[in-house]
Structure 1
């Protein structure tokens, strides 16, 4: 009460001056401490720790006074696991000391993704589809067929891979592509009397495809069944060789019994009169 009494005894102008002085003093103290509070002149350039292991990157950053936090992970098949892929703030940025540096590292185990169905797509569409799944195009193999530059088959490690099968992200997918039909015509190979397995090999060696396969009711083993008819046949009705282009198809008829002769044997040309 005595202090309040002394203040009230002072003139109003004197009290205003005292209050202004206190405000100025507090302002001076604030600005003097501002450098300490904001760590003025304690700025550090962020180093480049990309490609370093987590332990090495953490050691470098903490040695410069930064805090380190692994924020995210990603899988890059061309990069060793547990290396720093990205950092925030980026290299070369000038920031305050004790700033947190966030790291994105490469995963140890690749995630699994479903294999897409590429058959029938163009090469460009197949490439875009694979990239969307983070898969890569490996080798490309060309095979004669009607639909030029379309995917005929998809392979993983040399074996056909079915759509929907889970495979590691970053896998290399081999594409079998159509090169179109050939410009040269060759005689139709003879498959009548062969097993279906033998006929497939003969047609494949001639770069021909198997078209429709019609099977008799008595067949229990398709690969061991015999071809008793084919279309187009090797010879036409005049006994001349039929011609076919690479990439075209041959239809086959199969039966359990081996045929004695071609069921559609060509008619012999009549002898010319002398």
Structure 2
């Protein structure tokens, strides 16, 4: 038996097994694995925020990436379907075929309710509107004994009331009292009024 271990045939067998192992190792790690994991290959993710969804998808696909819209939000001032954010971020280095998740701008903004802005001061109405994600486009002053008291509100030419729904970030027109100017007037009854309302009535 010891003669066999010392024989040329034994060492040729060992050499053959070692050579076969080396070939398997080389094929697995340098041929199969690089093709499976794209080892050593990477691409830079292009910056696509603020582009249209169509433009962003074309740009990402051209780089061998896979765009996917995962969410939609509404951002005032951006066109509908514009890309708000991306993940991974632009200029990130990733492997080819990586998914890039996009958040796009909604076509229609969400609706919000008109708060109670009537019978209060202009200042208080402004705060309440801002809290509801609405804004004042302009003020219309009309004759009224109480200066800066909100008497009405309009959106696109139509009178609106508390509880009406408007697109988020809409701008409305407020109609407020002009007051009596320099004419002498009596002091209005302020008992029971909110502070801001009382200020607007003086």
- Fold match by TM threshold 0.5: yes
TM bracket, shorter-chain basis: 0.5 to 0.7
Alignment partner, residue 31 of structure 1: 29
Alignment partner, residue 197 of structure 2: none
> Which stretches in structure 2 are left out of the alignment for 5+ residues?
191-199
Query: Partners in 1 of 2:106 and 2:125 — Cα distance?
Result: 30
| TM, length-normalised to structure 2 | 0.63
Higher RCO, Cα 8 Å, sep 6+: 2
1:50-75 deviation digits (Å, cap 9, x = unpaired): 22222222211111111121212122
Distance 1:177 1:90, change over 3 A: farther
1:168-215 deviation digits (Å, cap 9, x = unpaired): 222113456799x99x862359xxxxxxxxxxxxxxxxxx9899xxxx
Question: Would you say the 8 A contact 1:123–1:150 is kept in 2?
Answer: no
Alignment partner, residue 88 of structure 1: 87
Alignment partner, residue 124 of structure 2: 122
Alignment partner, residue 166 of structure 1: 165
Alignment partner, residue 101 of structure 2: 102
What secondary structure sits across from 2:57 in the alignment?
A: helix
| TM, length-normalised to structure 1 | 0.49
Query: Partners in 2 of 1:76 and 1:61 — Cα distance?
Result: 23
Query: Partners in 1 of 2:90 and 2:177 — Cα distance?
Result: 47
What secondary structure sits across from 2:132 in the alignment?
A: helix
Count of residue pairs brought into register by the alignment: 177
User: Residues 141-220 of structure 1: matches in 2 within 5 Å?
Assistant: 145=146, 154-157=153-156, 160-175=159-174, 186-188=183-185
Query: Partners in 2 of 1:69 and 1:90 — Cα distance?
Result: 14
Which structure shows the higher helix fraction? 2
Alignment partner, residue 58 of structure 1: 57
Distance 1:151 1:30, change over 3 A: farther
Alignment partner, residue 225 of structure 1: none
Question: Would you say the 8 A contact 1:122–1:150 is kept in 2?
Answer: no
1:207-231 deviation digits (Å, cap 9, x = unpaired): x9899xxxxxxxxxxxxxxxxxxxx
